[in-house]
Amino acid sequence: MFKYHILALLLGTILDYVFGHIYSIYNPFDSIRKWIAFLDRALLGDEIILLEPSKQRSLGLWFVFLTLVPVFAVTTFFTMLCFEISPVVGVIFEAFATYLCIDGNRLFYGARDVMNSYYGHGLHDMKSSAVQFSSTDEVGEDEATIAQSTITHLANEASDSVISPIFIMFLFGPVGGFVYRTIDLMDRQVGHLDRRYTHFGFFTAKLNTIIDYIPGRFSGLLTVFAARFSFGEFNGKNARFIHFRDKNKALSAFAGALGISLKDGQIGDADKIPEAKDIRPATKLMRNDFLICQVILVIFLLFF
């Protein structure tokens, strides 16, 4: 069974590497996003000022329960059902589930599109591409800030949407992958401490921090390894230094490898001003992370 699991995980990463997300295919995470939005409105509503903080936290705990239990139950059911039918069906299902849980192809070409927009059409198109890539309007107004925000988003997602899901699925299969990505989606919507979600998102944010503790550190160490020992325009020694100093998942390793500061100057050292061309080595580093994960899977498949 272990080799079936590793084979399925490897096939899923290959599917993402070759095809990326095919948006005409149904993606369960679209339904999960809608369910999260529905529970947000149904439980918290609009008049949060009328709810005591303790009540908001209680509702936030119900939100976590009502979101994760269906995801866990449905994914577990189909995983067991497919492997019960036959190992081949199980491998196909797990490979497709893996493919749905990672975003390496989208990140690579999305970030490259931001860079190409700048050199092909100018700053205005670069900003439009960056807004689309990062799903936020807060990307800056000049080349340096847009490049910095793009690389910051790429580095964060390299951890949250590529390396960490593969790590989790290696240990816990598609059930772990779906639960991990669902917690990440919950945290993006209700886990951040703004006025509406300060109390309602308390348990979501704490759960995401706990679940991401080990995978986040693995993604940082893997990126340091990739910066030091893979091909590309990286400063491996600086990646190691900045990562162990700032300790922010893959983000600190990216900042050190490229010699720039990220996350609005909070991570890394400003050895140079970020430029659009810095997006290219950043995408190479993310791709190298992805390929190293695949090499590790091949080694386990052949020798364990």
pLDDT digits (tens, 9 = 90+) for 108-134: 999 999 999 999 989 999 999 999 999
User: Could you tell me if 130 and 116 are in contact, meaning their C-beta atoms sit under 8 angstroms apart?
Assistant: no
pLDDT at 221: 96
Domains: count for the chain: 1
- What is the enclosing helix (H) or strand (E) of 143? helix 143-157
Task: Give the rounded percent of residues in the chain with a pLDDT score beyond 70.
Answer: 98
Contacts of 140 (CB under 8 A, 6+ apart): 127, 130, 146, 148, 149
pLDDT at 191: 79
Residue 192 has pLDDT above 80, yes or no: no
Contacts of 67 (CB under 8 A, 6+ apart): 32, 35, 36, 39, 182, 186
pLDDT at 231: 87
Distance (Å, whole) CA 131 – CA 19? 23
pLDDT at 139: 86
Higher pLDDT, 21 or 298: 298
Mark 72-85 as b/e (b = at least 16 C-beta within 10 Å): eeebeebbeebbee
Structural domain including 53 reads: 2-303
Residue 63 has pLDDT above 70, yes or no: yes
DSSP state of 188: I
Cβ burial, residue 1 (10 Å; 0-12/13-18/19+):
exposed
Distance (Å, whole) CA 136 – CA 283? 20
Rg of the chain, C-alpha, whole Å: 20
pLDDT at 47: 66
Rounded to an integer, the average pLDDT of 236-250 is: 94
Per-residue pLDDT of 34-59, as tens digits, reads 999 999 999 887 766 667 888 889 99
pLDDT at 270: 87
Rounded to an integer, the average pLDDT of 266-283 is: 93
Query: Lowest mean pLDDT: which of 43-47, 140-144, 187-191, 219-223?
Result: 43-47
Mean confidence (pLDDT) of the chain: 93
pLDDT at 49: 62
Higher pLDDT, 195 or 239: 239
Per-residue pLDDT of 144-189, as tens digits, reads 999 999 999 999 999 999 999 999 999 999 999 999 999 999 999 8
The three-class DSSP label of residue 262 is: strand
Identify the band that residue 253 occupies on the pLDDT scale cut at 50, 70 and 90. very high
User: Could you tell me if 208 and 199 are in contact, meaning their C-beta atoms sit under 8 angstroms apart?
Assistant: no
